[in-house]
Amino acid sequence: MKGYDAIARSLLDQGVDTLFGLLGDANMDHIARYVEDGRGRYVPAVDERGATCMADGYFRVSGRVGVASVTHGPGAANTVNPLIEAVRAHSKVLILTGDTPSSFVGHAQAVDLAALFSATGASFRTVTSVDELVDDVGAAIAEVDASNHPMVLNIPTDVQNSDVRCVRPSPHASVATPTVPVDPDTLSEALNALASAERPLILAGRGAVLAEAREQLIELADLLQAPLATTASGKDLFRGHPYNLGIMGGISFPWAMDVVAKADCVVAFGASLNVYTTQHGSLLEGKRLIHCDVAPERIGIWTSVDIAVPGDAAKVAAALVRRLRETEFMSPSSFRQTALGDGVADRRPTDDFEDASGTSTLDMRTAAVALEELLPTDKVVVTDTGRFIGPVWSYLHVAEARKFAHSLSWSSTGFGIATAIGAAMGCPGTLPVAIVGDGGGMMGMIELITAARENLPLVVVVMNDGAYGAEYGKLLQHGLDPRHALLRWPDFAAVATSLGATGVTVRSLTDLEMAVSLIDQVSGPLLIDVRADPAL
């Protein structure tokens, strides 16, 4: 058995049922063996950037380690940009690559891989012995799974082409995720702060989603009579609750921002509290802040914290509820009733804006509201980055918070389509929807080839304002000509069709209804090009 045989066997023995990648000298042999075994699915991307995004998207919705295999040199280099996104999103992603042959001096693709990946923040390991290969692959998967931190595993081609003496199956003992015990004194301090607060607010981030803490947090909020909010990465965790404010931060509804501003105590669970959630800290001014996170080192990294509570969001919330009930807590605040009356469940999206669609363009807000009505409830939604995220995050929803993902942790444009392909693989049977701008859509559209090849029922909605819309607005703010941000693209629908998808152009609500009706009629991906006005 060769080293590349052992890699394939180890991946399959670890339960890696989906492998993303692109063939090259450093990985083609183990990919071939993986495919030939017949137990796993290999998804070949157009480029390594796409493969990395797919592995990330696969994890985001499935919770399982996403694995991508790429070749050395430029193949490895192509993963750097999306790997930074995965690192900042705390995604379980493993990238397999390999050094060039040691005997080939002057190899055109030789590069110091450790140095190349050092700026990404990902862990980096090198397999040094073929006899340790099986264990090293298993240990890498286990470490990524336990740490929620991406890793690059360098398996030199010399190792891959060597003979392996150990041919045993390679189920590797999982690495236990470190448990953080809830400190009773810290819990008491947080409890006293919450019990004495007149206007408490519960905020949940991605960590609360991963901890499956929805019910515990709602129970805590109901005891305290506190409204609920999420970060962008925790979107829709409290969907359906009458006192759900939605996303806290720059894209909050004005009425929700008013409630946040009035709060005197915020308890954040599994949220980084970055500058976008807190508006550079302004939304937390004058408030006591209790910060709970399973990773103690992430508490208070963006803003000062009054009370730090290391621990799992669900367990800490449950402990707080238990202690409140034990003390027969009878003095909940009246904050959410005074601020929101009977709640916000009856609010209509159209209460928040006036439609500004033109004769040949559709208001992005109107399009997002219509998509929420037209698309099935059970869907996966993945967004790229761009000015369109405001209406999309506000008005397009998912039934489960884990079925929403965005690629804004690094704010690199162009990841949306590939990330949605990975998400589709991680959540089969659920309609995957990618929402992108025209800039990011054109950057990432090449991976429609992958979606077509795999016959994925992927819906790609391009919010096409013919510009880099955010820059259009900023140029106006700076007193400069916004026309510099305008772009002339080929016809998106025609390009999509040439790549094996079905493409439709939309300029009105009637067009949009017709386009969505095609979902059940076409095979493979569907691209809907929504024409919008950059000035809105």
- SS3 label, residue 79: coil
Number of domains in the chain: 3
> Residue 505 is encoded by which pair of tokens?
């152009």
| Stretch 484-489: mean pLDDT | 94
Q: What are the helix and strand counts (H, E) for the chain?
A: 23, 18
DSSP H helical ranges for 45-132: 48-62, 74-77, 80-88, 113-118
> Residue 262 is encoded by which pair of tokens?
């009035």
Residue 90 falls within a domain, yes or no?
Answer: yes
pLDDT at 165 (0 to 100): 81
- Across the beta sheet with 265-269, the strand order is 244-247, 228-230, 200-204, 265-269, 288-293, 307-310
pLDDT at 176 (0 to 100): 55
From first CA to last CA, the distance across the chain in angstroms is 62
d(CA 97, CA 450): 21
Residue 494 falls within a domain, yes or no?
Answer: yes
378 and 307, same domain (yes or no): no
327 and 355, same domain (yes or no): no
d(CA 30, CA 52): 18
CATH number of the CATH domain containing 7: 3.40.50.970
Q: Rounded mean pLDDT of the chain?
A: 94
- What confidence tens digit (pLDDT) does each residue in 239-257 have? 999 999 999 998 899 999 9
pTM to 2 decimal places: 0.95
d(CA 170, CA 144): 17
- What confidence tens digit (pLDDT) does each residue in 39-56 have? 999 999 999 999 999 999
- pLDDT bracket for residue 182 (50, 70, 90): confident
407 and 466, same domain (yes or no): yes
361 and 510, same domain (yes or no): yes
31 and 63, same domain (yes or no): yes
Q: Which of 340, 358, 376 is the last residue of a domain?
A: 340
- pLDDT bracket for residue 331 (50, 70, 90): confident
pLDDT at 167 (0 to 100): 58
Cβ atoms within 10 A of the Cβ of 308, count? Answer: 17
pLDDT at 332 (0 to 100): 82
DSSP symbol at 182: P
151 and 200, same domain (yes or no): no
pLDDT at residue 177 tops 60? no
User: Residues in the chain, how many?
Assistant: 536
CATH number of the CATH domain containing 329: 3.40.50.1220
Backbone angles phi, psi at 97, to 5 degrees: -145, -170
What residue numbers bound the domain in which 464 lies? 349-531
Residue 49 falls within a domain, yes or no?
Answer: yes
Q: Which of 312, 340, 368 is the last residue of a domain?
A: 340
d(CA 211, CA 204): 11
Residue 169 falls within a domain, yes or no?
Answer: no
420 and 500, same domain (yes or no): yes
Contacts of 309 (CB under 8 A, 6+ apart): 182, 183, 186, 187, 190, 290, 291, 292, 299, 316
Residue 179 falls within a domain, yes or no?
Answer: no
Under a CB-based contact definition with an 8 Å cutoff, are residues 503 and 527 in contact? yes
92 and 39, same domain (yes or no): yes
pLDDT at residue 161 tops 60? yes
399 and 469, same domain (yes or no): yes
Q: What sign for the dihedral angle of Cα 249, 279, 85, 534?
A: positive
